[in-house]
Amino acid sequence: MRTGHHVYLVRCADGSYYCGYALDPTKRVQVHNAGKGSKILRGKLPIRLSYVRRFADKSEALRFERELKQRTHAEKDSLARHWSARRAKRTRRD
């Protein structure tokens, strides 16, 4: 994953979503799944990465994180589906 400031969305085992900020979202998900991340996720493991967006600066990323946390479950579902479809297209081209 490219360096920068990232906002990520993970899908929890219970179907809920968790949104966070990280410099390396892939590593952050590994930390969460090891039970060493956010305490709120410990009863909802395993989690999987559902969406990532990179930003040039931290303040912009944190603004988007706050906005994403306010979205409905259905909006997060839609965002995750579109991101997954774009990733699948990119993978097929490679």
Q: What is the CATH number of the domain that holds 35?
A: 3.40.1440
Domains contained in the chain, number: 1
Half-sphere exposure of 21 (CA within 13 A, CB side): 16
Per-residue pLDDT tens digits for 44-75:
999 999 999 999 999 999 999 999 999 999 99
Which structural domain range is residue 11 located in? 5-93
Tokens matching residue 75: 């909006």
**How far, in Å, CA of 19 to CA of 79, rounded?**
12
Rg (CA), the chain: 13
Per-residue pLDDT tens digits for 8-42:
999 999 999 999 999 999 999 999 999 998 899 98
**How far, in Å, CA of 61 to CA of 21, rounded?**
7
First to last CA, the chain: 16
